[in-house]
């Protein structure tokens, strides 16, 4: 008789009643009842790791693409819309200072009175000049060097931007009428500026105007050596 048949003949209940001991064997746990391995407990498969790595590469590529696009946009803006120009000298005091960095633009620009422009004067210097437009084509300009007043078409113009009255004549003989396609320019520091009053500058061909000054990008030092940082972004 094998062990299984002996177990069938043994009266476990009677033995427990008589001796107070339960000899029944412990039931085996069903393997099917064992808890399944959760997703979080599973080890990442090689395919999942590759997907995560590929996703990280794509994010890095997107960031690089954004950075390159921003740089290209900045270059296009400065080439076709605005350029950085440095002011040299004190002819535009107290509006612009020596070593100011300014942004200028020539996009769809037509010169008008009061604009500060960057221009070429090849007979005077190879470097660009920064001056203010005082009169445009067809207007008649005259200057009274005794009083320092400037007249356009017989009317005195209000010049609250100049440092001092216009007392330096240079080569100017007025009145003069501005030819078509030209402008007359002067510096705001009238008595320390070589401009259209000088025969080597004279009337400025509008085709020689590189653009209009938009704002101050970086202020240069004031005459006392300090810098006025509040001028950043100032239109003038």
* C-beta neighbour count of 75 within 10 angstroms: 10
Question: E strand or H helix at 120, and its extent?
Answer: strand 116-121
Tell me the two tokens of residue 64.
Answer: 């690089």
Contact 182, 92 (CB under 8 A): no
**Which residue out of 105, 131, 193, 194 is catalytically annotated?**
131
Using a 10 angstrom Cβ sphere, with 0-12 exposed, 13-18 middle and 19 or more buried, the burial of residue 215 is middle
Dist CA 79 CA 76 (whole Å): 5
Specify whether 194 is catalytic: no
Specify whether 131 is catalytic: yes
**Which residue out of 49, 51, 91, 120 is catalytically annotated?**
91
Give the catalytic positions in this structure.
91, 131
């Amino acid at each position: 008789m094998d062990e299984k048949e002996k177990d069938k003949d043994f009266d476990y209940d009677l033995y427990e009643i008589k001796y107070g001991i339960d000899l029944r064997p412990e039931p085996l746990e069903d393997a099917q009842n064992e808890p399944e391995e959760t997703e979080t407990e599973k080890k990442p498969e090689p395919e999942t790791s590759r997907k995560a790595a590929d996703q990280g590469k794509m994010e890095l590529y997107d960031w690089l693409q954004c950075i390159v696009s921003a740089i290209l946009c900045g270059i296009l803006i400065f080439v076709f819309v605005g350029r950085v120009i440095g002011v040299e000298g004190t002819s535009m005091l107290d509006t612009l200072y020596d070593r100011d960095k300014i942004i200028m633009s020539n996009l769809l620009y037509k010169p008008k009175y009061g604009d500060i422009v960057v221009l070429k004067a090849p007979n005077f210097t190879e470097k660009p000049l920064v001056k203010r437009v005082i009169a445009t084509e067809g207007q008649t300009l005259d200057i009274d060097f005794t009083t320092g007043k400037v007249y356009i078409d017989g009317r005195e113009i209000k010049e609250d931007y100049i440092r001092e009255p216009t007392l330096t004549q240079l080569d100017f003989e007025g009145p003069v009428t501005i030819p078509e396609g030209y402008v007359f320019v002067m510096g705001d520091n009238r008595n320390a500026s070589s401009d259209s009053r000088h025969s080597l500058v004279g009337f400025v061909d509008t085709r020689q105007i590189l653009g209009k000054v938009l704002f101050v990008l970086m202020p240069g030092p004031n005459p006392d050596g300090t810098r006025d940082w509040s001028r950043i972004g100032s239109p003038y």
